[in-house]
């Protein structure tokens, strides 16, 4: 099994998109790339911790490739927006790919560059691509939030 970490706005909908995929064995929502240890949701929402809401994906690369996960990521949100997704505004909603291996880094960069050059987007991609960092799982009530409520999307 391998891990991948993505941030694409509110983590509830992002988690649901990945947990449905064949080859994904587990997902966790949480916070990464901030300066506060063990942040709470309330702290992250202030924008003062530096964290982004993210999803940690555990997957079997023999069943689903990292590039397939990247395709889901790019199609799940608007990667041209800076520090927001739709009505959600703040640094905690920024777009990010946090690679776990050098291979993931190269695939993420190639994928981003191909999408930028495709003409599908009216603005350049703002997604940050950085090494994975400490991932703090969100509170239990956030895990599989939409699934537990029988919802298919946020809002």
pLDDT of residue 150: 87
Q: How many domains are there within the chain?
A: 1
Q: What is the CATH number of the domain that holds 93?
A: 3.30.1060.10
Cα Rg of the chain, angstroms: 15
State whether residue 100 is helix, strand or coil: coil
The rounded distance, in Å, linking the Cα atoms of 85 and 80 is: 9
- The answer to whether residue 154 is domain-embedded is no
pTM: 0.95
Q: Where are the beta strands (DSSP E) in the chain?
A: 2-8, 24-32, 52-59, 84-85, 88-89, 95-99, 128-131, 135-137
- The answer to whether residue 155 is domain-embedded is no
- The answer to whether residue 153 is domain-embedded is no
- The answer to whether residue 115 is domain-embedded is yes
Positions marked active-site? 10
Residue whose C-alpha is closest to residue 9's, from 66, 92, 107, 73: 92
Instruction: Report whether 136 contacts 38 (CB < 8 A).
Output: yes
The rounded distance, in Å, linking the Cα atoms of 101 and 122 is: 30
- Could you tell me the residue range of the domain that residue 46 belongs to? 2-148
Instruction: Report whether 67 contacts 112 (CB < 8 A).
Output: no
Q: What is the pLDDT along the chain (155 residues), one digit of tens a residue?
A: 999 999 999 999 999 999 989 999 999 999 999 999 999 999 999 999 999 999 999 999 999 999 999 999 999 999 999 999 988 999 999 999 999 999 999 999 999 999 999 999 999 999 999 999 999 999 999 999 888 888 877 76
Residue pointed to by tokens 């809002």: 155
pLDDT of residue 155: 63
Rounded (5°) CA angle 154-134-124: 55
């Amino acid at each position: 099994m391998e891990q991948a970490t993505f941030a694409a706005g509110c983590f509830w909908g992002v988690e649901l998109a990945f947990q449905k995929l064949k080859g994904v064995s587990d997902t966790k929502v949480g916070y990464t790339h901030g300066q506060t240890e063990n942040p709470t949701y309330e702290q992250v929402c202030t924008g003062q911790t530096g964290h982004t809401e993210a999803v940690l994906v555990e997957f079997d690369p023999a069943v689903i490739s990292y590039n397939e996960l990247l395709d889901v990521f790019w199609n799940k949100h608007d990667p041209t927006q800076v520090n927001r997704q739709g009505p959600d505004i703040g640094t905690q909603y920024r777009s990010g790919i946090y690679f776990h291996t050098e291979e993931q880094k190269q695939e993420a960069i190639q994928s981003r560059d191909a999408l930028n050059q495709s003409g599908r987007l009216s603005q350049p991609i703002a997604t940050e691509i950085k090494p994975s960092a400490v991932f703090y799982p969100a509170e239990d009530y956030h895990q599989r939030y939409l699934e537990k409520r029988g919802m298919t999307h946020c809002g």
